[in-house]
Amino acid sequence: MGIKAVIFDLDGVICSTDEIHYRAWKAIADAEGIPFEREDNERLRGVSRLRSLEIILEKAGRTYSPEEKEALAEKKNRIYVDGLSAIDPSSIDPGARKALDYLRERGIKKAIGSSSKNTMRILERLGIRGEFDVIVDGNDIRRSKPDPEVFSLAADRLGLPHGECLVVEDAVAGIESAHGAGCLSFAIKDARKCPLKDYEGEDAGDIVPLLERLGR
């Protein structure tokens, strides 16, 4: 089979922290009187904390100074980190659990490629930090998705040709990043609308039938 490793995005793929991000940003937007709905939230998938704030501020009635932006991003992160106290091993997406078990049984490598600086905290709360061969997160990169850096670095650290790595993503920005890095991509949720995807499914568990098919 051509696929030697699977690189998972974290938020919205391994667990529903995308919902905790949304609620934290909603609290910030409401307090600032800025319109922010779920539809707006789709654009925040995969992009950095500061870029997310800049997208939200597009609908603000005034401009914000760099200091104000920094303060709002920090406030959002405090609300978000508070929200993370609700997650535990039972929060792992059942499809992601199925995929991780399948990959372990088959000896296929597993990695995380996330824009989040909270990645380690989340993986520890989920109790799965040790399951990954490679973890690349928001602290390791200079340019967030859709830039290819995160998946390029993950594939390099896996020591594999990029075209032998399959990226699982819920974000359009993430599919663009995977494509730019020369990796194959599997789109779920909002990412399915991205024309650059190679494969798609309902959740991360749907990579199992794909890998079975490709393996034949």
Question: Shortest distance, CB of residue 59 to ligand BG6, whole angstroms?
Answer: 17
Site string for ligand BG6, 132-171 (x = CB under 6 A): ------x--------------------------------x
Question: Shortest distance, CB of residue 88 to ligand BG6, whole angstroms?
Answer: 18
- Euclidean distance between CA atoms 171 and 193, whole angstroms: 9
Q: Active-site residue 156, yes or no?
A: no
- Euclidean distance between CA atoms 166 and 5, whole angstroms: 6
Where do contacts with Mg ion occur on this chain (CB under 5 A)?
9, 11-12, 170-171
- Euclidean distance between CA atoms 170 and 163, whole angstroms: 20
Pairing between β-strand 165-169 and β-strand 5-8 as defined by DSSP bridges: parallel
Question: Shortest distance, CB of residue 105 to ligand BG6, whole angstroms?
Answer: 27
101 three-class SS: helix
Q: Which of 4, 77, 83, 131 binds ligand BG6 (CB under 6 A)?
A: 77
Site string for ligand BG6, 99-138 (x = CB under 6 A): ---------------xxxxx-------------------x
